[in-house]
Amino acid sequence: MRRTKDFEHWAEYARRLIADEVKISDVILMVKLNFTPTNWKAWKSKLIEWFSLKKYEATIRESGKKVQYRIVYIKTDKTWNLITDD
């Protein structure tokens, strides 16, 4: 997939990977998205910017309750985290 032509599709795929894990390390996400460390350095900053502008909605399977969440990168832990808004 050409990342430069379809950033939104690629970012959505990253969102699904993060949402499935709730918390995922930076290096694992890089590998799952098939990036090299050199490419990842540039793309990660754009992904951080993208997720800072977005809120998502999901339904909890067990309760059927709808929740809003954000995805944030925690630099000190080098992890991507799903944060729910109460």
CB 80 within 8 A of CB 69: no
pLDDT of 1 reads: 47
Question: Residue 50 corresponds to which tokens in the numbers above?
Answer: 């993208």
d(CA 50, CA 29) in angstroms, rounded, equals 16
What is the CB-side half-sphere exposure of residue 23 using CA atoms within 13 A?
A: 7
Tell me what percent of the residues of the chain surpass a pLDDT of 70.
Answer: 93
**Average pLDDT across the chain, whole number:** 90
Q: Which residue has the higher pLDDT, 17 or 59?
A: 17
pLDDT of 5 reads: 62
Residue 83 backbone zone (phi > 0: left; psi -120 to 50: alpha; other: beta): beta
pTM score of the predicted model: 0.84
